Amino acid sequence: MKHLNYRSGNPALNSNAFANETNKRRGAELVDVMTIKGTVDKTAIGLFLLIFSAYYTFSAEMSYMIPVGIFGGLIIAIITIFKKEWSPITVPIYAILEGLALGSISFYFDEKYNGIVIQAIGLTLCILASLLIAYRSGIIKATENFKLGIFAATGGIFLIYLVSFIMSFFGTSFSVLSPNNSSLMSIGISLFIVVIASLNLVIDFDFIEEGAEKGAPKYMEWYGAFGLLVTLIWLYLEILKLLAKTRNR
């Protein structure tokens, strides 16, 4: 069992996330421990809160909530990573804040490309279900080389996004990352990013399974749900951009 030998591409689920929390409780009597079912339930609650708040801001008048959701969600995410025992409180807050941002962002895309949001949500859920089935059936295995490859690719993607963000302050950026760029190269890059974001789900499943096997504390169910939410939000946004590029052709 080598689930935790390498870190996930997801920054929320690093190689010590579950191991450290389990070690804190080692030698103590564990009445409630993390389970896969519990994590699934917590993930469902998080998604419900996210969708509910996104529905609330799904209008042009609520666009001011985008920075509130993004930066507020980032702060809560950092707190969650360093204070995992606060997850039962911080993760629902994170889901609500991210929903506030996603609602207005989704409205912008749907206004420009009618029906694109439903398509993106459907594809995101289909990818989640398909990869979960593939993982549970053993078709896809989170081997050490697999984890290293996904981690390297994910790190490279976020480095490119970081450089592009910094360049935006000087009035420029990588045009291939723009949803308005419909060139074949831009579409190909978006497709690659969607694939990498999707495969991060496999590593997330592996980490959650290991947490349950190790008997991690009950609150780690919320933390596992947090990791999945981070990946699903990223995947949804990348699918939105990919669909927008294909609509522009």
Q: Quick one: angle between helices 220-248 and 87-112, nearest 10?
A: 10
Report pLDDT for 1. Answer: 43
Q: Are 97 and 72 in contact (CB under 8 A)?
A: yes
18 pLDDT above the threshold of 60: no
* pLDDT value, residue 170: 85
Query: For the whole model, what pTM was predicted?
Result: 0.86
In angstroms, the Cα distances linking 2 to 6, 126, 206, 207 are: 8, 28, 10, 10
How much is the pLDDT for 4?
Answer: 42
Return the biggest CA–CA distance within the chain.
61
pLDDT at 10 over 70: no
Q: Is the pLDDT at 91 greater than 50, yes or no? A: yes
Indicate whether 151 pLDDT > 50.
yes
CA distance linking residue 8 with residue 200, whole number of Å: 7
Token readout for 174 is 């990588």
Rounded to the nearest angstrom, the gap between the alpha carbon of residue 241 and the centroid of all alpha carbons in its chain is 16
What is the model's pLDDT at position 24?
55
Structure tokens at 74: 């980032």
